[in-house]
Structure 1
Amino acid sequence: MKKKVLLLLLLPLFLSCNGQESKTTEAVYTQKLEYGLKGPVKEVITYIHTVDNGKIPANTAKPIGTTTITFDNMGNIMTITKIWDFERIGKSVFSSIFSGTGKDLSFKETVDLYDGEHTENSYKYIWLDDYSYNIRSEKDSSYANIISLDKKYRLVKSVFKRDAVIESEEEIETVYKDDKIQEIINKEMENTDGKKSVSYRIQVAQKYDNQGNPTVLYGYDDLTKQTVKHVLYKEYTYY
């Protein structure tokens, strides 16, 4: 269970809308491009709710997950706070404070897990080429989180490695309609104790704000999209 919670907290993709405006050309890299945010976003808060028996909960209900991301006025991330609260096992919190701008980035992270374990670590972005980088841990050089981007700096792949072994891999496809994100398809592959598994997470935008950023997304766990498993509510603050 602890490993699953760690993966949930480490992966930013479930809490974000990946991709960027299709009209963007020759963009200068900032992290905002990875999240596909339109307009001068200062803060975005995402609330994740479980859907039971097809009933969509209101945003006033207690979420199982919350993430808060703040940006400077150039689009560089300043802070990320992620909270997962599973009533059966308790609450886990990840807090990150970023330094640097553009591609020269690092961050310090504090983790408080549901079982009382507390850790602190520092990470640095090591660019492998123009469109991929490794988020390197200062404490554990055997760990690698390799992020791949397309030529507009949209997220397309995330790989978690321990030494030469790939522990998990995620591929991201973003579908657009009318220059807005309509659907995000995440294919996840995990390698646990030599056993490989494949799963899907699909996010479909339902509503947008006046900047064109999604405010409500329905989440599915299979490609048929027959049953809504989660609903994500997003709140934006702009400069």
Structure 2
Amino acid sequence: MKISLLLLVNVIFIFSNCGLHEKKGYSQKTEYNLKGPVKEVIIHMCKVEGGNIPVDTTNFFGKERFTFDQHGNVMEDFRKTKNENGIEIVYKLVFSGKGKNRSYDETGSVDGKEIEKGSYEYVWLDDRSYKIVNKAGNGYSLLVTMDQDYRTIKTQLKQNNVEVNTTWEHVIKNDRVEKFKALSTVNNLDTTKNLNIQVMKAFDQHNNPTLIYTYDNLAEKKPIAVVFKRYRYY
């Protein structure tokens, strides 16, 4: 099973923070499994090419920067990546609201051309699942289902004629998530399956992961990407 670069980016960007969180009520910090008074998270993704595993962020193909307020709400999410054709894709999400009452405005560009601005909101279905929908009703939606500890166990992304269903399995050791597996089924003109395994290789003083290897095979041979994370705290 091979994972596309675009799907890999989405998996890493959205759900790749894997320390065990404090057992509190819902916040985005809790959902992203972050520990400690996190203020900022900076993520760099680097491809493994020619068997050479990157040791720094010099040749990254994707970058994301989260900022949080002191209550664990995301304030801004900035993403920049290049797809398989070398086209640069940029998104900026500016959030408002608190707790479960969240919404955001999205701006961005593809190959230097601005995309249409969008406004999105969180619609909660019950205490452990919500849907992100476009306020303009353009057919985009992301359904997220979480377990009792607010870890993501299932997602369903719909956009135009594409539907991506993903299931998540977390491997917990030493009181933290040290690995997760994400199996995605992409339904478009054809149906394809993609596997993403992320193994945490290093953690900071708050047990937030700082170095992650990404694989597309169950044997976990030959990583396809390395993820570097840096944190700032209040």
Question: What TM-score, normalized to structure 2?
Answer: 0.90
Q: How does 1:64-103 map to 2 (within 5 A)?
A: 64-86=61-83, 88-103=85-100
| Seq. identity, % | 34
* Aligned equivalents of 2:43, 2:221: Cα separation in 1: 23
Equivalent pair of 2:210/2:228 in contact (CA under 8 Å): yes
The CA distance in 2 between the partners of 1:170 and 1:114, in whole Å, is 28
The residue number in structure 1 matching 2:141 is: 144
Q: Which of 222, 226, 231 is the matching residue for 2:221?
A: 226
The answer to whether the 8 A contact 1:159-1:166 is kept is no
CA contact (8 A) 2:18 2:176 kept: no
Between 135-144 and 105-114, the greater mean CA deviation after superposition: 135-144
CA contact (8 A) 1:19 1:33 kept: no
2:198 is matched with 203
1:124 to 121, 124, 146: 121
* Number of residue equivalences: 230
- 1:172: how far off? 1.4
Q: CA deviation at 1:88?
A: 4.0
Residue 107 (structure 1) aligned with residue 104 (structure 2): yes
C-alpha distance in structure 2 between counterparts of 1:60 and 1:172, whole Å: 27
Could you tell me how far apart the structure 1 residues matched to 2:219 and 2:32 are?
25
Unpaired runs of at least 5, structure 1: none
> What TM-score comes out, normalization by structure 1 length?
0.88
- CA–CA distance in 1 between the matches of 2:18 and 2:124? 19
Alignment equivalent of 2:151, drawn from 137, 143, 154: 154
Measured in 2, the distance between the counterparts of 1:216 and 1:207 equals: 5
In structure 1, distance between residues paired with 2:83 and 2:141 = 27
The residue number in structure 1 matching 2:20 is 21
The aligned residue for residue 191 of structure 1 is: 187
- Whose relative contact order is higher, 1 or 2, with alpha carbons under 8 Å and at least 6 apart? 2
1: CA distance, partners of 2:159 / 2:229: 33
Partner amino acid for 2:176? Answer: K
Matched residue of 1:228: which SS? Answer: coil
SS at 2:154's partner residue? strand
Shift of 1:174: 1.4
Q: 2:18·2:208 contact (CA, 8 Å) conserved in 1?
A: no
Which digits, 9 at most, give the CA deviation of each residue in 1:139-198, with x for residues without a partner?
2253321111111211111101358x77111111111111122101111110011x2111
Indicate the residue corresponding to 1:181 in structure 2: 177
Aligned residues of 1:20 and 1:33 also touching (Cα < 8 A): no
Runs of at least 5 residues in structure 2 that lack an aligned partner in the other structure: none
Query: Where does residue 40 of structure 1 map in the other structure?
Result: 37
